[in-house]
A = this chain, B = another copy of it.
Amino acid sequence: MAAVCNIAMIGQKLTARAHCNAFLKVPRFFNLPLQPVMYSVVGADLISLAPFADRWGWRKYSTAWKEAIKDPAVNLVDITGPNHLHAEQAVAAISAGKHVACEKPLADSLKNARLMRNAAVRSRTVKSFVWFNYRRVPAVSVALQLIREGRLRKIRHVRASFLQNWGGADAALSWRFQKKYAGSGAHGELNAQLIDLARFLTGSEFIELTGALNETLIVERALPEPPGRNANRIREPKRRTTGKSDVDDTSILIGRMTGGVLARLEASRVAAGHQNDLSIEIDGDGGAIRFDLYDMNALRFYDGQEDRRTAGWRRIVCTAAGKHPYAGAWWSDGQGLGYEHTYVHMAADMFASLGGEQPATPLPDFADAYETQRVLEAAMLAAKHRAAVKLTEIK
């Protein structure tokens, strides 16, 4: 019988729900060396937390994260709340000798990210993970395979964008629009994922942020409805007051990576027509790959070593068991996966790793995510100073 891994999860919002679903499903679809147990959940709002815990089958729930972390039964602390709390919670978990998984971005600031990295690196027993879930789309894993096999030869270009449109003038001033909670806006939330993917897929590291735009396009935003009020009823604009957003709505970067790779990344929350449009393309002397989240079960591949007569971008549907990572755990060939499966795959790899096995795709730890955070910081400085920033300037 497999050993168990008791999870204490912090958070009860949208992302927490994706984690719950992953923990519920992963033992049904994957053969794991460790059995995850949904042990305790921590939230800020006890009234909504109780039914949440009940719905997902958490054994305990509370509003006291410090106590929850210290519980001797807990093996893994899973952090899904606002960015500004990541560092304190993660460091506490590591101090308590717990493995720790943290949502992206690693932290709200480079300083806090460094605290987390240092705590993780110093610990000899604790494993750290960061939920860069898009690494674990099967198509992205296949892209990594092809690149590692040298199918692209020397890489020249990384182009990536993550475009959303929910952050227009109508969007209320949630914590995601406030620097004190979020650290940054589209930049930290979306570019962090592009930077992770760029580093992960190319194996190169950023050396310079040559230029960056980082803009708060919509400053004045309505305050959100107070909790407990019905979000769906007719709005009463008179009673509303507004506040100021101080994070970027869009952030665009250009930079250089080791090995001569040039990178261009772009994130926006005000890109009309794009609900959740992540794409990344990598071009090399021998070919190119492209991934579009809108067609997430497929990888585009251009094999430049084929004769031009028959060379062309091909669409590889990455759902064949035994051929494509993770595919064998699911349905028959051609049956698509969705957003939530990236979390299940992350959970599968995490419990494999905690149980002493190899993950199907390399896992990012705090040290790895810290490198991504340094790039975020460099980009913010480059945008601020309107000049290139070398990564060596960012400790």
Contacts and interface: CB of A to CB of B under 8 A. Distances in A.
Interface in A347-376: none
Contact of A304 (B152, B156, B164, B273): B273
A340 interface: yes
A307 interface: yes
Interface string A287-317: 1100001111111011010011111111111
Nearest to A20: B28
* Chain A facing B: main interface SS: mixed
Interface in A312-340: 312-317, 319-320, 322-324, 330-340
Interface stretch (A95-103, A112-120, A195-203, A254-262): A254-262
Contacts of A323: 307-309
Contacts of A297: 294, 338
A250 B156 contact: yes
Given A146-B310, A264-B266, A272-B285, A254 B337 contact: no
A296 B336 contact: yes
Interface string A53-71: 0011000000000000000
A260 to B, nearest CB: 7
A157 interface: yes
A275 B317 contact: yes
Nearest to A170: B285
A331 B20 CA distance: 13
A316 B309 CA distance: 8
Contacts of A287: 272-273
A85 interface: no
A102 B98 CA distance: 47
Interface string A170-197: 0000000000000000000000000000
Interface residues of A, number: 96
A277 to B, nearest CB: 7
Nearest to A27: B55
A262 B310 CA distance: 26
A299 B311 CA distance: 10
A277 B317 CA distance: 11
Nearest to A321: B308
A382 interface: yes
A307 B322 CA distance: 12
Contacts of A286: 272
B310 A312 contact: no
Interface of A: 14, 18, 20-21, 24-25, 27-28, 55-56, 142, 146, 152, 156-157, 159, 161, 164-166, 168-169, 208, 210-213, 215, 217, 232, 250, 252, 254, 256, 260, 262, 264, 266, 268, 270-277, 283-288, 293-299, 301-302, 304, 307-317, 319-320, 322-324, 330-341, 382-383, 386-388
8 contacts: A166-B332, A169-B285, A268-B283, A270-B283, A272-B302, A275-B319, A294-B336, A331-B340
